[in-house]
């Protein structure tokens, strides 16, 4: 039976733990010559621009012995009116799996419903689960554990924040979200997470309170792709949520700083922090490759 990965909750906590262990093994070079995707092709449909997601998936699929096929929606019959359902049914006859980076999460749900091969969420406006797998791997790598960590997410309650909430509820780390009024994470995800959580998930206004004694401080851009029309308003309301040296002084001395990139330096994060000793953002970016290889291996073999 085919399995999709549209949200963090599509994997159990035990499956996530197994995946992270496998990702660590892959990063060390274990099974370097293992090519479980030989003879398999995986489609990559990207409606949004991408650096890390596209390159990490293409490289990872190739390293596992498979063939990545990048598909520009404007060059498919989707661009001439073919339905998402018909495209999903057709591509399933050619491909062993499909990665989609899109705007509306409903696009992924429709595609996965009609596809007969695994569908992976490369990003939607509501969720970014592949990013959070890499985040969890980075926490494990740098802190030696995930359970019981205190994570502070500072800024806009966006798709990354939503997926981080899901991860906190299943992986038992405590998550404090500091955001301005009107920029909270998705209410439905929050409600479901609190019902199932074995950890504390809190939304508040004061970034210093959120960062207090944090093991991890996480931020993301204030204006996500497709939301540029709100740029000036959001930047004005989120100015107090910049991750800078003053905010880091509220956290633990060995705090690590995460950012899923790309970063708008001087807005949500300063150069001093981004390039400083607490920053692990480029290790985090690298871990997209290893976590996604483990995910693909889990779903397609």
Is residue 72 situated within a structural domain?
yes
pTM of the model: 0.97
Does 154 lie in the same domain as 71? no
Within its chain, how far is the Cα of 41 from the centroid?
Answer: 23
Catalytic residue flag (residue 101): yes
pLDDT at 141: 98
Domain encompassing residue 122? 8-128+287-300
Does 84 lie in the same domain as 20? yes
The structure tokens listed for 219 are 């931020």
Does 111 lie in the same domain as 206? no
Does 156 lie in the same domain as 200? yes
Picking from 8, 15, 4, the residue whose alpha carbon sits closest to that of residue 131 is 8
Alpha-carbon distance 223 to 234, whole Å?
Answer: 7
Does 84 lie in the same domain as 30? yes
pLDDT at 22: 97
Is residue 169 situated within a structural domain?
yes
Does 271 lie in the same domain as 148? yes
CA atoms within 13 A on the CB side of 196: 15
Does 246 lie in the same domain as 119? no
Active-site residue (options: 22, 52, 54, 101): 101
Whether 160 contacts 220, CB under 8 Å: yes
pLDDT at 11: 98
Whether 5 contacts 129, CB under 8 Å: yes
pLDDT at 168: 97
3-state secondary structure the chain: CCCCECCHHHCCHHHHHHHHHHHHHHHHCCCCCCCCCCCCEEEEEECCCCCHHHHHHHHHHHHCCCEEEEECHHHCHHHHCCCHHHHHHHHCCCCCEEEEECCCHHHHHHHHHHCCCCEEEEECCCCCHHHHHHHHHHHHHHHCCCCCCEEEEECCCCHHHHHHHHHHHHHCCEEEEECCCCCCCCHHHHHHHHHHCCCCEEEECCHHHHHCCCCEEEECCCCCCCCHHHHHHHHHHCHHHCECHHHHCCCCCCCEEEECCCCCECCCECHHHHCCCCECHHHHHHHHHHHHHHHHHHHHC
pLDDT at 56: 98
Active-site residue (options: 4, 186, 215, 220): 220
Is residue 154 situated within a structural domain?
yes
Cα distance from N-terminal residue to C-terminal residue, the chain: 12
Active-site residue (options: 52, 105, 128, 290): 128
Does 292 lie in the same domain as 280? no
The total domain count for the chain is: 2
pLDDT at 298: 98
Catalytic residue flag (residue 131): yes
Query: Is residue 109 exposed (0-12), middle (13-18) or buried (19+ Cβ within 10 Å)?
Result: middle
Q: Kindly report the CA angle at 145 between 144 and 149, in degrees rounded to 5?
A: 120
278: number of Cβ within 10 Å: 20
Is residue 3 situated within a structural domain?
no
Catalytic residue flag (residue 260): yes
CA atoms within 13 A on the CB side of 199: 21
Active-site residue (options: 10, 127, 131, 156): 131
Is residue 1 situated within a structural domain?
no
pLDDT at 64: 97
Catalytic residue flag (residue 220): yes
Does 273 lie in the same domain as 137? yes
pLDDT at 229: 64
pLDDT tens per residue across all 301 residues of the chain? 899 999 999 999 999 999 999 999 999 998 888 899 999 999 999 999 999 999 999 999 999 999 999 999 888 998 788 999 999 999 999 999 999 999 999 999 999 999 999 999 999 999 999 999 999 999 999 999 999 999 999 999 999 999 999 999 999 999 999 999 999 999 999 999 999 877 999 999 999 999 999 999 999 999 887 677 668 889 999 999 999 999 999 999 999 999 999 999 999 999 999 999 999 999 999 999 999 999 999 999 9
Does 253 lie in the same domain as 136? yes
Does 155 lie in the same domain as 93? no
Does 12 lie in the same domain as 62? yes
Catalytic residue flag (residue 198): no
Is residue 122 situated within a structural domain?
yes
What CATH number should be reported for the domain holding residue 190?
A: 3.40.50.1370
The structure tokens listed for 245 are 């040296």
Is residue 2 situated within a structural domain?
no
Active-site residue (options: 105, 278, 288, 290): 288
Is residue 53 situated within a structural domain?
yes
Whether 122 contacts 44, CB under 8 Å: yes
């Amino acid at each position: 039976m085919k399995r999709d990965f549209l949200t963090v909750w599509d994997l159990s906590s035990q499956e996530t733990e197994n995946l992270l262990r496998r990702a660590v093994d892959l990063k060390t070079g274990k099974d370097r010559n293992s090519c479980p995707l030989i003879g398999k092709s995986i489609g990559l449909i990207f409606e949004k621009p991408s650096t890390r997601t596209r390159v990490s998936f293409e490289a990872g699929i190739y390293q596992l012995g498979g063939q990545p096929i990048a598909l520009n929606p404007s060059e498919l019959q989707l661009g001439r009116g073919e339905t998402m359902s018909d495209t999903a049914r057709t591509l399933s006859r050619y491909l062993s799996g499909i990665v989609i980076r899109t705007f509306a999460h409903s696009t992924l749900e429709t595609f996965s419903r009609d596809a007969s091969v695994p569908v992976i969420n490369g990003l939607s406006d509501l969720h970014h689960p592949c990013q959070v797998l890499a985040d969890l791997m980075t926490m494990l790598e740098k802190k030696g554990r995930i359970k019981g960590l205190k994570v502070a997410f500072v800024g806009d309650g966006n798709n990354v924040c939503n997926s981080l909430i899901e991860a906190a509820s299943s992986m038992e780390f405590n998550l404090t979200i500091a955001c301005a009024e009107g920029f909270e994470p998705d209410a439905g995800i929050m409600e479901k997470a609190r019902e199932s959580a074995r950890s504390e998930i809190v939304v508040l206004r004061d970034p210093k309170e959120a960062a207090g004694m944090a093991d991890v401080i996480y931020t993301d851009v204030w204006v996500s792709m497709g939301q540029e029309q709100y740029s000036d308003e959001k930047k004005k309301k989120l100015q107090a949520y910049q991750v800078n040296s003053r905010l880091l002084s509220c956290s633990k001395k060995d705090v690590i700083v995460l950012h899923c990139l790309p970063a708008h330096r001087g807005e949500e994060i300063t150069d001093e922090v981004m390039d400083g000793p607490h920053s692990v953002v480029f290790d985090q970016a690298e871990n997209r490759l290893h976590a996604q290889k483990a995910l693909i291996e889990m779903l397609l073999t």
